[in-house]
Chain A
Amino acid sequence: MRTIQQEKRVSLDGKRGIPIDSVWQHKHILDLDDFTPAEIELVMQTTDAMHEILSRPIKKVPALRGKSLVTLFYEPSTRTRSSFDLAAKNLSADVINLAASTSSVLKGECLVDTLETLEALGTDIIIMRHPHSGSPYVAARHVKAHIINAGDGWHAHPTQALLDLYTIRQHKSKFKDLKVTIIGDIKHSRVARSNIWGLTKMGARVKLCCPFTLLPMGLDKSHGNFPDIEVEPNIDRALKGADVAMALRLQLERQQSGLLPSLREYTKMYQLTEEKLAHAKDDVIVLHPGPVNEDIEISSSVVHGPRSLINQQVKNGVAVRMALLYLLSGGTH
């Protein structure tokens, strides 16, 4: 006979006896620097439940019925935007997709005015992507709606980092002392920054690998409370013993701006190939936030090879974002 594992007791809402999480403390999701490990773990567990919904023939639950949600994108996006859109629809929220390129932004409306308009329309959650670092923080100060940062400049992309954490968690037993090597254009990568916060909070050991021209300033402890990480410009050494290899997109205009001598040289030294992956552990997994420049930062054979979880990441993106929308939309923060 099948028995179902009994979960541990969580605190109960006194009046109604409903299991309640008292762990979640966020009104907005701006970056992972202010997340506690317990909150990240709650996101992971909630994502497990959302995953089950995605496996059903009818992938829809009524949890966010009557809530309205806007995706406000000032930069192009395929996966982040469509996965937020799907996640919201799976939870029965009403979604408006706004692209800056087709909105009044083109007529010169400023960010705060756009946000206030959305607020006047009764929006509960605003998911925004903006080329300027810090703009979601401005938004969070100006409107009552919940703000989710879907990427701001070079600063942060917390939902991507959470889906990366979830993908890692599906394949590795624990985060503690997990060796994660992030390779590529760290300087311009909001994905890398949010991942560094998330991974180190969960106890993983993060190594960055890139040419020094693509390494941001202020990564060491002397700059505030930035987490402890290691920098290793040699990719073979950086990958030695790695459990997870994360390649980042190289924006091709970086070469024009003089940060790289030539694309060929970068590709030769930093492209993630089967050969270089041989230095990592046998069960290494490969992540990439997408979109991929095949045969630039990562070889096609790795992208489509057995260790690549790139498509899994996209799939998990929907479940993680459902979990975040559910957790955010609760009650009376």
Chain B
Amino acid sequence: MGKNIIMNAADIRRTLARISHEIIEHNKSTQHLILVGMRTRGVPLANRLAANIEGFEGVSVPVGALDISLYRDDLPSLELQPVVKSTDIPVNIDNKAVVLVDDVLYTGRSTRAAMDALIDLGRPHSIQLAVLVDRGHRELPIRADYVGKNMPSSRHEEIQVRLKESDGTDEVAIIPTPTKEEQP
């Protein structure tokens, strides 16, 4: 009902291929690169970007997974605690160019939490941000370095990213949600 598909599997594949090229181009070399996926859906995206980069350049770039639950700024206001998963970053991030990977960029608060989490793990040379969808409505001064698709949206809509690894299919959809009170 009212679900509008904005990216299908082929779109996602092409978009990730383009972002992979942009990451290589921007960083000039893949030597100091590490891709860090934000749990949950950033992780398979990071894996796919790494597979693309390996395909294009023949270099295997390390991939990590970052859990930001313990860094959220809304912990006291949630009714139940978010499930904490392990952060799993295979290499030291000191002096590395870290590309954070997430599915949707929205308020920017998750990115803020992710940057704090990363900085607790070391001192990267730089942190870049790659997202599949940027839906606007930023609440913090944060922007993405690599954007799959700019998707201006209303706060009353839900952007649903589904990936084969976690949901069995590749698709990005926009779903209108019934209007409640205006969200803050």
Contacts and interface: CB of A to CB of B under 8 A. Distances in A.
Interface of A: 1-4, 6-7, 9-10, 13, 15-22, 24, 42, 45-46, 48-53, 56-58, 60-63, 66, 91, 323, 326-327, 329-332
Interface string B125-167: 0000000000000000000000000000000001000000111
Interface stretch (B10-18, B25-33, B85-93): B85-93
Contacts of A16: 74
A257 B122 CA distance: 57
B85 A7 contact: yes
A4 B120 contact: no
Interface of B: 37, 39-40, 43-44, 47, 50-51, 54, 60, 62-65, 67, 69-72, 74-88, 90, 116-117, 120-122, 158, 165-167, 183
A326 B86 CA distance: 14
B87 A2 contact: no
A18 B72 CA distance: 10
Contact of B88 (A52, A323, A326): A52
Contacts of A45: 83-85
Given A1-B51, A4-B63, A52-B87, A326 B81 contact: yes
A2 B81 CA distance: 30
A8 to B, nearest CB: 8
Contact of B82 (A4, A15, A19, A57): A19
Contacts of A53: 70, 87
Contact of B84 (A2, A17, A49): A49
Given A1-B51, A56-B120, A330 B80 contact: yes
Contacts of A91: 70
Contacts of B70: 53, 61-63, 91, 326
Contact of A326 (B43, B84, B122): B84
